[in-house]
Amino acid sequence: MTEDTGPTSETDDHHEDISDVIYARTEEGAVQLASNADRWHLYEDYVHLDPGHPQDEYYRWEAEKKDIVDDPDRGALVVIDMQNDFCEPGGWADSMGMDPTDCRDAIPSIQRAIETAREYGMWVIWVYWHNREDLRNLGAPTLYSFKKDPDQPGIGEELENGAVLTEGSWGAEMVEDLQPFMDDEDIYVEKVRMSGFYGTHLEQVLRTQGIETLFFAGVNADQCVETTMEDAYFRDYNSILLTDATATASPDFCKDAVVHNAQLCWGFTMTTEQFADADPFEG
């Protein structure tokens, strides 16, 4: 019978290499996460999202579950689906018996987030549904998500104020309260699925402009905001949910689950007040 001597030296070398490279300890005592240019440094009380460029101007934001340090030049505010059909009386959500009040309650925080992003010199990116009039780019599963019964008005069908979420319609317009905050220099991304990444030019814009960190706002938290944030996480973007600038017409537990998973899996959360109150960081 051969005595089991434990892992081979090759296995030991492998684990040693992982610790020395992917989870290497820095001179300051942080744990490095990844070994490429987009690595993070993990400390006890904060995460440095951009330690590889010490010449940059860094800020520290209070966040859950760790504070974050980053260069705002790498950041962008992503405002999702703040459109009449989701947020206004007479829109699609209202016609379905959903109360748009919570969605509207997020508007002052979104305004604050936009003003803050501009002060930091960040891009503001508007992501929104703009469907074709002929709906040829929407399949049955997407159409069903907006039309559960034969008599229910779906995407492209007429309500009192026009066609639901159709380019050029009142329902597809941004809410009036945010229109003064829209600038010609902002980035505008039309989508035809819940995620702002699917079938759009969003990622091309982010890559070409060197944007690595995304602050998310808008509606609905548990649908289009969630899926866009998840897709950002899958693509290794640094993702932060602005909790008071994000809302949903769904029950409260739906947003609670998004906030929980944003902290546990996809990145970080903070309020717009915390977003505005970053401190210069010298590490």
Catalytic residue among 50, 70, 191, 255: 191
Say which amino acid occupies 50: D
Three-state DSSP class for residue 269? strand
Catalytic residue among 67, 70, 81, 231: 81
**Beta carbons within 10 angstroms of residue 279's beta carbon:** 11
191 is catalytic: yes
Region of residue 162 (left: phi > 0; alpha: psi -120 to 50; beta: else): left
Length of the chain as a residue count:
283
Q: What are phi and psi of 187, to 5 degrees?
A: -100, 135
How far apart, in whole angstroms, are the C-alpha atoms of residue 201 and residue 127? 11
**Nearest Cα residue to 92 out of 131, 127, 124:** 131
- Radius of gyration for the alpha carbons in the chain, expressed in angstroms and rounded: 22
Catalytic residue among 50, 67, 224, 231: 224
Three-state SS letters, 121-154: CCEEEEEEECECCCCCCCCHHHHHHHCCCCCCCC
β partners of residue 42? 31, 47
> Going along 43-89, which residue ranges are E strands?
46-48, 58-61, 67-70, 75-80
- Omega prior to 65 cis, within 30 of 0: yes
147 is catalytic: no
224 is catalytic: yes
How far apart, in whole angstroms, are the C-alpha atoms of residue 250 and residue 196? 20
Q: Which residues are catalytic?
A: 81, 191, 224
